[in-house]
Amino acid sequence: MDERQYLLEAIKKDLALIKRIEDRLRGEDDPRRQLKLETDNEELWQRIRDRKAHLSSLDQEELKKTVSYLGLPPLKLEPLPLPEPLIPDEDSSSISLQKQLEDKPPITKFHANYSKLCKLLKAGKWREADLETARLMLEVSKRQNFGWLRARDIENFPCQDIRIINNLWVNFSQSKFGFSTQRNIWRNVGGQPGEFDGYCFLKFGNRVGWRRNDDWLKYNDLSFSLDAPKGHLPSLQLTGLRNEPDWLSLWKSNFKSFLSHIETCLSNEYKN
């Protein structure tokens, strides 16, 4: 578990503590105890705000290190918005975050070389970048000879690779494209985090431009330009899907599986 995951777990546990404090406040009559509980509550909220700010800085540093590692010129990064975590439904046992953070976090290791994807995105070669994204995802999953991913391949896809692919798409497209952009659109059309709904998928397809005149677009009909609708890319149409007679069902299956996994990998962006 890396530092980022430690912080997420700590935030969840702090939120669980806040929920218990607020429950106690509702039934507390002693003014001194009320004051103590309110003070504890405010200290916890401040600690959560500090940890969320640190999470945001970690994501920025991760992208900077990756760009440096790949030998690319520095990117001009916009500050990330601070997320609002969800309050968990069940209590969690307390852990010593300080002790965990004293251990040196593991160095991020990617499972593929993303230099070509960086260069293509920087050059605005969106079609080539989409094809390279598909190739990389198959390479990471060791499914190059098949050209498509099974549900278990997506479930086991490394989060650090999901995050670097997403960060590169988001930054080079100025947030026009990327997994996190698509995830936000999914929520905007009524989709629930990590859950698939067929009606929402139709609305999502219309919103991101994957559908036209009530028909789903095949790969060659997609738009590979910044003029495309927001969230249009990456397409998630892997190389093996395009020659399959049941390509639409496979495409939908890919999207369905990625919804849950993207929520897990980008989980520092919880919202109330």
Distance CA 272, CA 263 (A): 14
Assign residue 147 a region: left if phi > 0, alpha if psi is -120 to 50, beta otherwise? left
Does residue 160 surpass a pLDDT of 60? yes
Model confidence pLDDT, tens digit, residues 166-191? 999 999 999 999 999 999 999 999 98
How big is the CA angle at 11 (ends 8 and 16), to the nearest 5 degrees?
A: 130
Residue 186 tokens read as 């999914």
Q: Where exactly are the structural domains of the chain?
A: 3-102, 115-269
- Whole-model pTM above 0.85? no
pLDDT in tens, 197-256: 889 999 999 999 999 999 999 999 999 999 999 999 999 888 777 777 788 888 888 888
pLDDT one-digit tens code per residue, 103-133: 333 334 567 888 899 999 999 999 999 999 9
Q: Calculate ∠ Cα 140-141-146, nearest 5°.
A: 120
Count other C-beta atoms under 10 Å from residue 198's C-beta.
Answer: 8
Residue 27 to residue 17: CA distance in whole angstroms: 16
Q: Residue 13 above 90 pLDDT?
A: no
Model pLDDT, residue 65: 67
What pLDDT is attached to residue 105? Answer: 37
- Nearest-angstrom CA–CA distance, 196 and 179: 15
3-state helix, strand, coil in the chain (%, to 5): 60, 0, 40
CA distance 255 to 261: 10
Helix, strand, or coil here: 45? helix
Torsion of CA 85, 199, 207, 148, to 10 degrees: 80
pLDDT at 110: 66
For residue 89, pLDDT over 50 is answered with no
Cα 141 to Cα 244: distance, rounded to the nearest angstrom = 20
The predicted structure's pLDDT at residue 133: 95
